[in-house]
Amino acid sequence: MSKQVVQSRLTVPEIRGRKGKQKIVCLTAYTTPIATILDPIVDLLLVGDSLGMVIHGLPSTVGVTLEMMIL
């Protein structure tokens, strides 16, 4: 049996308070499964339309849909 740890979210003031004092771990998640894996172990996750080019091979981010982002 595993124990689930509830992690509190960082607030903007907390992030600002770390400036020059403590490093912040930030990664980009291109898919929902990757975001689910990374969320408990990083401070910040970047999520955006660049997945259109990185994952789907589109020439730009213009054609990215919400459905593509929440796969």
Asked, for residue 25, whether it belongs to a domain, the answer is yes
Name the one residue in this structure whose structure tokens are 């020059």.
20
Cβ contacts of 51-59, under 8 Å, gap ≥ 24:
54/30, 55/30, 55/31
Mean pLDDT, all residues of the chain: 86
**34-61 pLDDT per residue, tens:** 889 999 999 999 888 888 888 889 999 8
Asked, for residue 1, whether it belongs to a domain, the answer is no
Residue 13, pLDDT score: 95
Asked, for residue 10, whether it belongs to a domain, the answer is no
More confident residue, 4 or 22: 22
Asked, for residue 6, whether it belongs to a domain, the answer is no
pLDDT band at 33 (very low <50, low <70, confident <90, very high): confident
Domain that holds residue 35: 21-69
Asked, for residue 32, whether it belongs to a domain, the answer is yes
Asked, for residue 29, whether it belongs to a domain, the answer is yes
Question: What is the tally of structural domains in the chain?
Answer: 1
**Global pTM?**
0.66
